[in-house]
Amino acid sequence: MSKRRIVLGIVTAIAGLAALGIVAANPVHHAEVHTQSWSFNGFFGSFDQAQLKRGHVIYKDVCSGCHSMGLLAYRDLQDIGYTEDEVKAFAAEVQVEDGPNDAGEMFERPGRPSDRFKAPFPNEQAARAGNNGALPPDLSLMAKARAGAGFLGYDGADYIFSLMTMYKDPPADVTIPEGMHYNEAFKGHQIAMPPPLSDSEEAPLDQQAQDIAVFLTWAAEGNLEERHRTGVKAILFLVVFTLLAYATKRKVWANVH
């Protein structure tokens, strides 16, 4: 083994031990994420449209009061099984600023399928003012933004599910400032957002958390199923190409001793 490899091995080991030491020394800052089994994972994974629709309802009824999804248009909802008329009805529920008109004035009109999801606040300052100074993040790419990396690898859906289900009473030795809430899945365990979901007669908390996690994953990874299909085609092509190449090689060298 070369000296360079030995040095790299030592440095890697030290870095790994240091990282584990940081986590152990600061357990309060360690986000506890519970991994789940998702239909969209795996080589042939796909989204469950019924689950996506339930997640959309949760976003619409619960999350959209504070969180925007500025990268999603109403017409995108057709991809999860809604009809064109249903999408038009969703869009028409909101009033969208448009213009200027012939008089040079802005005006409001019912939303159209081509419009982006309407944000709950007109600007960042209004959003902070309505949430005790906290800025609710846009959820369009939340599933990607919260996916783990390295030895903490987990899906963004795992994080969202855990965040929805891990609100707890703080330990006796932990003081939570007024307006904050204790959540073991959130880094630092203190989060401004109150628990958005709870058990109901229609669905238990775990199911609701899974539904919204899947919907937000679809919003961030709308082409996931297409990528899976492309991957399958690529693998099949490589298999056929390999077999043809092997058969050609056997034929070309058949008479060579």
Angle formed at CA 15 by CA 9 and CA 20, multiple of 5 degrees: 125
Mind listing the pLDDT tens digit for each residue in 167-182? 999 999 999 999 999 9
Please give the mean pLDDT across all residues of the chain.
Answer: 84
Between CA 30 and CA 26 the distance in angstroms is 7
Give the pLDDT of residue 89: 97
Is pLDDT of 32 > 70? yes
What is the per-residue burial (b if ≥16 Cβ within 10 Å, else e) of 227-241? ebeeeeeeeeeeeee
**CA dist., res. 149 & res. 16, Å (int):** 14
The pair of three-digit structure tokens given for residue 180, joined into one six-digit string: 């904050």
pLDDT at 254: 76
pLDDT at 29 over 90: no
pLDDT in tens, 64-80: 999 999 999 999 999 99
Q: Are 122 and 108 in contact (CB under 8 A)?
A: no
Residue 11 confidence class, pLDDT cut points 50, 70, 90 = very low
Residue 184 vs residues 94, 163, 203: alpha-carbon distances, Å: 36, 8, 23
- Contacting residues for 47 by C-beta, under 8 A, at least 6 apart: 39, 40, 80, 214, 217, 218, 224, 225
Nearest residue to 162 via CA among 134, 203, 195, 140: 195
- Distance (Å) of CA 172 to CA 165, 168, 182, 193: 20, 12, 12, 21
Could you tell me the pLDDT band of residue 154, with boundaries at 50, 70 and 90?
low
pTM: 0.77
